Structure 1
Amino acid sequence: MHKRLFLTLTLGAAVLAGSCSKDEGEGGTASISGRVYLVQHNDDNYLLETDTMVAAKEDVFIVYGNDGYVGDDVETGADGCYRFRYLNAGTYTVFAYSTLQTGEKVAVARTVKVDRGEHATAGDIYIHAGKAYGTSMIKGWVYADYFNKNGTTVGYGWAYEQRVYIKRLNEPYHFDDTRVGLDGVYMFQKLQPDTYVVFTYSQNPSTEVPYPVYDTVTVEERGVIVETDTMQVQIKA
């Protein structure tokens, strides 16, 4: 009789202990909240400046513990804030997506540990978007010596309105072109990391026959402005 009672109590304690040990997920009394900001990379911004604002109506996802899949998702409010409720104690990962100019999604995540009945705040999440996000620029200058019909130099200065071209290294044709500004500057934007050749055309003062002037430029990372050497040309005035 006593042995049977002891066995029953032992099994009951084991069941209770198992029921109190819960993995990460729903069904508890903890919660996690945070805020998402959107960093907007605007097109035609030649300084790579950005605008930062709260990210309203943005999807935020949560992963329970070491799960390899999303456990739940919520949408941020007008103030960029979100909250996951009724969580068990444990470690969670919350994340939202940045969107590259190519359309590729990149997760920006925060890991949060929360105890039973506790409310934890995740660090702010900054996501990025916009046509210029994830791209770089090449900036250069073109300086000209101007000559007359006799081939004599009559002036010099920035090569305003001179056309400049860009192509990828080892490719035969250019994929974009632009013109030099009043300050001698030209810029190519929305470039991915790669090696490029920028070029323009100079003229032989004796024959006026054009010939290309090249500069090879390597863009090693995203979100930078790579400056090149000044290209020197001769142009008939």
Structure 2
Amino acid sequence: MKPSLLIPLILTFLISFTSCSKEEGEGGNSSIYGKVIVHDYNSSYTQLNGIYDGADEEVYIIYGDDLSYSERIRTNYNGVFEFKYLRPGNYTVFVYSEDSTLTLPSGKYAVLREVEITGNRQTVRADDIIIFK
């Protein structure tokens, strides 16, 4: 190979290799966990019937500034969830709750928790997510 072709080829390889930065998402060794708690009300949300762990609730995570959710899991029997194998970065975890104000057309809204993983091999706890049913 000619030396005049070798230098641009090496430079292209170095630039492409060093410009790749790892973003939020799967492929790491950190995790985010938390708990979903249900406040169970009557149909008009005037009387609290009970508070219990949110078993088998869907929990979503958004990696970084993605526009839609990146992964969905379900809580265990204790209302606990865990997203594993994450890289350092910013994440949004959310669960859909019924609208206790009875004003939203869909009848539901997302309860969000912002979580940051700052390093490798971290296990970060998200604040409890309280939803209405």
Same fold, TM-score > 0.5, yes or no:
yes
Change (3 A) 1:45 1:58: closer
1:109 corresponds to which residue?
112
CA positional deviation for 1:123: 0.8
Tell me, which stretches of 5 or more residues in structure 2 are unaligned? none
* Deviation by residue 1:103-155 (Cα, 9 ceiling, x = unmatched): 611111100011342221111100111xxxxxxxxxxxxxxxxxxxxxxxxxx
- For 1:94, give the aligned amino acid: V
Could you say which residue in structure 2 is the equivalent of 1:25? 25
1:127 alignment partner, one of 121, 127, 131: 131
Name the one with the larger strand percent. 1
Unaligned runs of 5+ in 1: 130-237
**What does 1:156-175 correspond to in 2, within 5 Å?**
none
1:14 and 1:127 mapped to 2: Cα distance? 48
Runs of 4+ in 1 over 4 A off after TM superposition: 1-9, 43-46
Which residue number in structure 2 is paired with residue 175 of structure 1?
A: none
Distance in 2, matches of 1:45 and 1:27, equals 42
Tell me whether 1:70 sits opposite 2:74 in the alignment. no
Higher relative contact order (CA 8 A, sep 6+): 2
- Contact 2:39/2:48 (<8 A) preserved: no
Alignment of 1:91-102 (within 5 A): 91-100=90-99
Question: What does 1:183-202 align with in structure 2 at a 5 Å threshold?
Answer: none
> Which amino acid is the alignment partner of residue 24 of structure 2?
E
1:12 CA drift (Å): 3.2
Give the distance between the partners of 2:86 and 2:45, measured in 1 at CA: 43
Q: How many angstroms apart in 1 are the aligned matches of 2:29 and 2:3?
A: 39
SS in 2 for 1:84: strand
The one-letter amino acid of 1:36's match is: V
Larger Rg: 1
Structure 1 or 2: larger helix share?
2
The alpha carbon displacement at 1:66 in A equals: 1.2
24-33 vs 76-85, which moves further = 24-33
- Relative to structure 1, the CA distance from residue 99 to residue 54 in structure 2 (aligned partners, 3 Å threshold; closer, same or farther) is same
> What RMSD in Å do the two structures reach over aligned CA positions?
2.6
Percent identity between matched residues is 32
How many pairs align? Answer: 127
State the TM-score, normalizing by the size of structure 2.
0.79
